[in-house]
Structure 1
Amino acid sequence: MVRNVASTCWECASKCGSLISVEDDGRVSRIVPNTKSPVSKGAFCVKGMRALPEWTYHPDRLTHPMRRAGERGSGRWERISWDDALDEMADRMAAIRGRYGALALVGAVSGAAFSRGPIMALLMRSIGSPNWMINQDLCGGCRAVSDRLTGLAMTNGEDIEAAACILVVGRNPMAADPVQWMAIKRAKARGASVIVIDPFRTSAADIADLWLQPKPGTDAAIAMAMMQQLIAAGRHDADFVTRWCTGFDALAERVAPFTAEHAAALTGVPAADIVKAAALYAAGPSVFVSGHGIDAASNGVQTFRAFHCLVAISGNLDRAGGNRRAKRPAGFTTCMDLLHDPRFRLPKKIELQTIGAAQYPLWAGPAGWQTACHNKSVLDAILTSVPYPVRGMYVSGVNIAVMYPDTRRTLEALRSLDFLCVAAHTMTPTAAVADIVLPKTTTLEEEEVDVSQTGACVTYTAPASTRIGEVRCDMEIAAGLMARMRDRGALTAELLPWTSQADLIRFLIGDAEIDQAALRRDGFFEFPYELGNFSAQTFKTPSGKIELYSSTLADLGLDPLPDYVRPLYERAAGSASAEFPLVLQTGQREKTYHHSRFREQNWARKVSPDPTIRIHPETAAKLGLADGAWVVVETEAGPAPCRLVAEITDRTAPGVVTTGIGWWRPEAASPEFAALDININAALTYAGPMDPMSGSVDTRALPCRLLVA
């Protein structure tokens, strides 16, 4: 008899509600959208419906622990028991800790939005190391640092349903977020205005009332000009600014030179379109929908600061049809709360030694957004022992060899470690160079609770599927390692007190007034919230207000006001060089893949068999490139070329080429699995320049050239 389970997909931040059909043998046979979900309202993507089951039941899935049986990367493995795997892991990590100190051990996960993040962080802290890595310097980090500095607390709170104007910047919701995309189409149908700012003509641009196509990396100039327009015309929300903001006069002075004409000269967008965009946005209520197109760049935080200040001075914060602030039921603890909870922290003198904290204190260490390391600095420490040696690493659920820029150097660092353990679902380029590989659960086998700002509800992910083989979840792995490190006298503190995921979930729910039976039955539980309650839900800034002028940045000697910072390709000589005449954009989303995941699935490969690079017909004609031909891609500062397939399209601008990330081929030769050949990160540098606030490196708006393969 088929059992139906209500759940929430947490493959990405969209958190779509799902209904899962489970057969008598415990296998998931079907996943469909849950139309009752207040988060997704029936939206869902093919990855949640098809990729997750195929990932779970794929014949190449890792189902038991393995130990390297030959040279690192040789592809020779022997099956071992969980006890043997965890014992060896503990022995080798304790040995590194004893020889070099606890700081020589580092953890790595994809992020901290779900429980795997704090589990890793608290595990490493218990061992005595503040060092753990996340991917957010390349994915959402600039947005988060800006949000924190400004005090908005509005990430993922887009109230598209009630908006009169939707401002979409650097985001392709059709591919990245089905919830947003369906909401935008509904809003458009009822008469809302849609403004899209993007160098690439996305599906959102196709339906937009106004599409602004700036030169890559120049988006901040448009935001500065829109603020100038609002302030000059007196169309900003003066009452809101007076009551809840600080630094308005300084901001007004900063944006005064950014007339529409000046911004047009910087961006290539007609001045009249910038004026129209400002007028539509000012009419409101308006919602700002942002994406990675303005993130992961050395000017990323300043770009987001400009748009975040626009949200603030227009009064579109925490109002119907604007950007809602993050809400939660009283008594509920989020995963981000765990990271900053004093009960689970190391002494500040140790946290200040987090790799990258000295250079990027707003990112790494005790004052950092997620307290994590600066990833590039960790790779440097592995290879140079500066600021101190890093000799052991535990990686869980993230394919850093593919996702970090400069793939060769990342692999070199991983290979040089004294010990590397990787928990993964399938054999990846990261796992292939490990000493121990552990089989991880997928999202269909895991339990999770979280808060969604889109629906203002607590979401529940049910462990619907019977587990395959000997797989274990992050908490079970961490608890097993903790026990063994404790036996070896290799713990500094007991900062991960739970031994099961159920224990952690009980802690997170706490004493919140949540009907847990309804939560598990429906996959969600809505909670009441109040908009605009700024006196009760205060701004977590030094001034206690929204900081248009950031006192934190001023204290650090950084620019306290938002500004336009020229993109990398314009900084040296004012334009792309003759040798590298094109501008490369990365991060193009696909419906089939999520970053580096699902590359082993045949259905996805049929839809998207090869990595493509989008080239305008004029550009292709000048270079003699044919549609479907393999081309060589080189960046000006990159360590090596890579190969991609040309896709000729007028959706990208002349002189601008656009591609995606995360490519590798599971069937190719181990251990690289073609990641050095067809992965754009193999052609990118991780050396800088870097955003002074987030430490993010430029992964787009890069000088490049194309050659016939």
Structure 2
Amino acid sequence: MTLPDGTYPSTCWECSTRCGSLVTLQGGKVARVGPNKDHPGSKGAFCIKGIRALPELTYGEARIRHPMRRVGQRGSGNWDEISWDEALDEIADRLLLVRKEYGPESLVGAVSSAFFSRGAMVALLMRSLGSPNWMMNQDLCGGCRALSDKVTGLGIVGGEDVENTNCALIVGRNPSAADPVQWMGLRRAMEKGAKSIVIDPAETPAAKSADIWLRPRPGTDVAIALAMTQVIIEEQLYDESFVDTWTSGFDELKNRASDFPPTRAEELSGVPAADIVTSARMYADGPSCFVSGHGIDAFSNGVQTFRAFHCLVAITGNVDRKGGNLRVKRPRGFRNYIDILHAPDFSLPPEVAAKTLGADQFPLWAGPKGWQTSAHNPTVLDAILNGKPYPVRAMYVSGVNIAVTYPDTHKVMAALNSLDFLAVASHNMTPTSEIADIVLPKTTGLEEEEVSLDPSAQIVCYTNPVKKPENGARSDFDFTTDLARRLEKRGVETRRFFPWETKVEFNEYLLGDEVDWALLKKQGWAPFDFKLGNFAEDTFRSPSGKIELWSELLDGIGVDPLPGYVPPRLEQADKSTRADFPFTLITGAREKTYHHSRYRDQAWARKVSPFPRLQVHPSDAAGMDLADGDWVAVQTSNLPHRCKLKISVTRETDQGSVRTGMGWWLPEAVGPERGALDVNVNVALSYDGPWDPVTGSADTRGIPCRIMRIPENETPMRDST
């Protein structure tokens, strides 16, 4: 139901930052979404996506209004509006038909992550049908840092206490565009005298304002971290008491770091040794906070790179202390969505879970022992296309545009088009939903109730459903549990996986018994009791019960238990490849107007950022006789396919490197792919390895590439202003 006119506290969920918001209703419609200055986590920080994108997503013309069934061939653009009953019955029947012919593991789900309820819903739906397979995007964003945190036993991801720090070490992150809460917290810390060290090949706003900016060659950050470790140990700047009491493997780490003195790190990274030494001393003079981003997630050595920095956090004692990296706390009895995926009550038999695609090669990522139990996405795509190790023939997608966000767009589109059945739940038509058999309309963050944990503020957050869903759109919980009940009537035992009747009942299950539900709804957040540094009771989640600088979990799967250096792709390439592909491509640059592939169909966002851009250094542009605004084709050494981007000549990117964003498609373009085969950088990126040996993540940065001017008549967007 729609609430009476007034202003209500809520939490924005357009990304995972969880900014506190105030939503104003007038005449039964949302009149304004803005920041909540009283929210203890965001403290009034908010971004344009929450202000503009969320209302447009809810009321905009692009929103899907009814369930739809495809008419004619895939991608024809012809649809029939159908009822929810028709849509869910057809999905149930089609999934069961595929299961009967190919087996339960031939069904797969796909979501962006398990950080919101849709992840648990999709995974549980697959399990209720007997399939262990579901995919998420976290191998491309956040997965390496999470696995490093897991195998080290820290439990600090998301717990950056930036506002109280004396020194922020910011690596591969542009918080001004990616996280307004973190950025404003950093600015307040700097105003109080805190120092900042930025490690980033791009000249971001954080780099411009840093006390020390280390500009490495892409993919060499781990050498800097190990060199800083060597300096801190050599000069006895580490926290000896903390190391002796709460870590294991210090001597092994010391020996490994001794191979990376600052002079060697300079040779590998291009960063002056003297600057590395100064940075190490500054960081050791804490409390200091490690702030990391996608910049080091996007490499096939991502886990070990994060491991090096996580070890740096540990040996300096910056764990669960004010101004350091806080361990994630929870209220008593609180469950997050990942807990559900590992709970015995919702698990498949071990012999079934072991069939998860990719579990044999990446057991800490995929399958029952994996971080979120998801499958390995590239292995799923191969199973769709070639039937090995077994066929995958039907997919259920919710809230993710995988045709655009996965690397190797041509391969992904081919896989999706070859499926026997594809159902997609979405807010709007995307290149993924355009080739579906059934499309379902989802609720937005103004229409659905959600609870989540803010690990940096140590509070529980509440997303308030202030209005009735438009045109009968339904939440993931609502239509997934409805689908489960229909499957139950068809003989599938789904009740064990979906014991809740309502979303309120589900949220109460998550909250446990400490959180004040009434207070949570009233103010949009609720506190809970916790202690910092209570390691004796709140033990480290590792085999040894300590922070493992030498990781038993990695050693157990045959991976180097210590962080190590792997040369970036351009350095591994032979002379011929270097000559043909002389530039290093950096992808994933964040934009304030977009979140991954979202909002390309919103006019305000396209006005602010109308084109897919490629940043090129002035010297490189001059050498190719290119000017700002020229259209170029970018091709990597991985694939023959090219993406088309409009260049921005800027010193923000280093000479020899070119930098772009991600997620581009053109809703106005013809064809089901909606321009994604032209302007999406994933067209030029491979998903077939080399892979991180822990997460199975592919390189999406630091890739050799070349740039070619394209004729005017081949530009994908005619307006070149």
Letter of the structure 2 residue corresponding to residue 659 of structure 1: T
Gapped runs of 5+ residues in structure 2?
Answer: 711-721
Contact 2:364–2:370 (CA<8 Å) still a contact in 1? yes
Partner residue of 1:354? 356
Residues in 2 aligned to 1:324 and 1:262: alpha-carbon distance in whole angstroms? 32
Q: Give deviations 1:399-451, integer Å, cap 9, x for gaps.
A: 00000001011010001000000000110000000000000111111110111
2:202 to 196, 200, 203: 200
> Offset at 1:347?
1.1
Residues in 2 aligned to 1:315 and 1:248: alpha-carbon distance in whole angstroms? 13
How many equivalent pairs are there? 707
Structure 1 length-normalised TM? 0.99
Partner residue of 1:175? 177
Taking a change above 3 Å as real, the CA distance of residues 224 and 613 of structure 1, as seen in their structure-2 partners, is same
1:18 to 21, 28, 33: 21
RMSD between aligned alpha carbons?
1.1
Residues in 2 aligned to 1:683 and 1:282: alpha-carbon distance in whole angstroms? 41
Partner residue of 1:515? 516
Greater CA drift, 636-645 or 197-206: 636-645
Letter of the structure 2 residue corresponding to residue 605 of structure 1: R
> Offset at 1:95?
0.7
Q: Give deviations 1:578-626, integer Å, cap 9, x for gaps.
A: 0000000000000000000011110100000010000000010111111
Residues in 2 aligned to 1:440 and 1:277: alpha-carbon distance in whole angstroms? 48
Please state if 1:270 is matched with 2:272: yes
Partner residue of 2:536? 535
Contact 2:577–2:637 (CA<8 Å) still a contact in 1? no
Partner residue of 2:569? 568
Letter of the structure 2 residue corresponding to residue 660 of structure 1: G
2:217 to 215, 233, 236: 215
Contact 2:169–2:288 (CA<8 Å) still a contact in 1? yes
Partner residue of 2:578? 577
Contact 1:197–1:212 (CA<8 Å) still a contact in 2? yes
Partner residue of 2:471? 469
Contact 2:584–2:703 (CA<8 Å) still a contact in 1? yes
Letter of the structure 2 residue corresponding to residue 573 of structure 1: D
> Offset at 1:492?
6.6
Please state if 1:658 is matched with 2:640: no
Taking a change above 3 Å as real, the CA distance of residues 576 and 156 of structure 1, as seen in their structure-2 partners, is farther
Contact 1:360–1:692 (CA<8 Å) still a contact in 2? yes
Contact 1:64–1:471 (CA<8 Å) still a contact in 2? yes
Residues in 1 aligned to 2:493 and 2:413: alpha-carbon distance in whole angstroms? 29
Q: Kindly, what percent of the aligned residue pairs are identical?
A: 57
Contact 2:485–2:494 (CA<8 Å) still a contact in 1? no
Letter of the structure 1 residue corresponding to residue 624 of structure 2: L
Partner residue of 1:139? 141
Partner residue of 1:185? 187
Residues in 1 aligned to 2:205 and 2:67: alpha-carbon distance in whole angstroms? 44
Q: Give deviations 1:166-225, integer Å, cap 9, x for gaps.
A: 000000000000001001111111100010000000000111000000000000000000
Residues in 2 aligned to 1:517 and 1:555: alpha-carbon distance in whole angstroms? 46
Partner residue of 2:319? 317
> Offset at 1:466?
2.5
Partner residue of 1:600? 601
Please state if 1:649 is matched with 2:673: no
Residues in 2 aligned to 1:555 and 1:171: alpha-carbon distance in whole angstroms? 31
Letter of the structure 2 residue corresponding to residue 618 of structure 1: S
Residues in 1 aligned to 2:482 and 2:522: alpha-carbon distance in whole angstroms? 31
Partner residue of 2:622? 621
Greater CA drift, 573-582 or 312-321: 573-582
Contact 1:109–1:133 (CA<8 Å) still a contact in 2? yes
The DSSP-based 3-state class of the residue aligned with 2:50 is helix
The DSSP-based 3-state class of the residue aligned with 1:87 is helix
> Offset at 1:242?
0.8
2:5 to 2, 19, 42: 2
Partner residue of 1:69? 71
Q: Give deviations 1:53-82, integer Å, cap 9, x for gaps.
A: 011111121010000011011101001111
Q: Give deviations 1:543-581, integer Å, cap 9, x for gaps.
A: 111111011111211101011111122123389610000
The DSSP-based 3-state class of the residue aligned with 1:7 is strand
Residues in 1 aligned to 2:515 and 2:425: alpha-carbon distance in whole angstroms? 33
> Offset at 1:670?
2.7
Contact 2:487–2:494 (CA<8 Å) still a contact in 1? no
> Offset at 1:319?
0.6
Partner residue of 2:554? 553
Mapping of residues 80-159 of structure 1, within 5 Å: 80-159=82-161
Residues in 2 aligned to 1:415 and 1:306: alpha-carbon distance in whole angstroms? 41
Letter of the structure 2 residue corresponding to residue 591 of structure 1: K
Residues in 2 aligned to 1:484 and 1:627: alpha-carbon distance in whole angstroms? 57
Partner residue of 1:421? 423
Contact 1:576–1:582 (CA<8 Å) still a contact in 2? no
Partner residue of 1:39? 41
Contact 1:394–1:421 (CA<8 Å) still a contact in 2? yes
Residues in 2 aligned to 1:679 and 1:47: alpha-carbon distance in whole angstroms? 21
Please state if 1:284 is matched with 2:265: no
> Offset at 1:510?
2.3
Residues in 2 aligned to 1:259 and 1:495: alpha-carbon distance in whole angstroms? 53
Contact 2:488–2:494 (CA<8 Å) still a contact in 1? no
Letter of the structure 1 residue corresponding to residue 528 of structure 2: F
> Offset at 1:3?
1.3
Partner residue of 1:636? 637
Letter of the structure 2 residue corresponding to residue 192 of structure 1: A
> Offset at 1:490?
3.2
Q: Which 4+ runs in 1 deviate beyond 4 A?
A: none
Letter of the structure 1 residue corresponding to residue 11 of structure 2: T
The DSSP-based 3-state class of the residue aligned with 2:481 is helix
The DSSP-based 3-state class of the residue aligned with 1:287 is strand
The DSSP-based 3-state class of the residue aligned with 2:425 is strand
Partner residue of 2:457? 455
Contact 2:116–2:452 (CA<8 Å) still a contact in 1? yes
Residues in 2 aligned to 1:549 and 1:576: alpha-carbon distance in whole angstroms? 36
> Offset at 1:465?
2.5
Gapped runs of 5+ residues in structure 1?
Answer: none
Contact 1:639–1:685 (CA<8 Å) still a contact in 2? no
Letter of the structure 2 residue corresponding to residue 564 of structure 1: Y
The DSSP-based 3-state class of the residue aligned with 2:629 is coil
> Offset at 1:493?
6.5
Partner residue of 1:674? 675
The DSSP-based 3-state class of the residue aligned with 2:173 is coil
Residues in 2 aligned to 1:118 and 1:60: alpha-carbon distance in whole angstroms? 27
The DSSP-based 3-state class of the residue aligned with 2:471 is coil
Residues in 1 aligned to 2:183 and 2:536: alpha-carbon distance in whole angstroms? 33
1:412 to 403, 411, 414: 414
Please state if 1:238 is matched with 2:236: no
Contact 1:97–1:105 (CA<8 Å) still a contact in 2? yes
Letter of the structure 2 residue corresponding to residue 674 of structure 1: G
Contact 2:666–2:675 (CA<8 Å) still a contact in 1? yes
Contact 1:128–1:491 (CA<8 Å) still a contact in 2? no
Residues in 2 aligned to 1:473 and 1:260: alpha-carbon distance in whole angstroms? 53
Letter of the structure 1 residue corresponding to residue 410 of structure 2: R
Residues in 2 aligned to 1:576 and 1:311: alpha-carbon distance in whole angstroms? 38
Contact 1:363–1:370 (CA<8 Å) still a contact in 2? yes
Letter of the structure 2 residue corresponding to residue 331 of structure 1: G
Taking a change above 3 Å as real, the CA distance of residues 493 and 464 of structure 1, as seen in their structure-2 partners, is closer
Residues in 2 aligned to 1:501 and 1:297: alpha-carbon distance in whole angstroms? 38
Contact 2:630–2:646 (CA<8 Å) still a contact in 1? yes
Structure 2 length-normalised TM? 0.97
> Offset at 1:2?
3.2
Residues in 1 aligned to 2:655 and 2:554: alpha-carbon distance in whole angstroms? 37
Q: Give deviations 1:116-173, integer Å, cap 9, x for gaps.
A: 1111111111111110000000000000110000000001100111110000000000
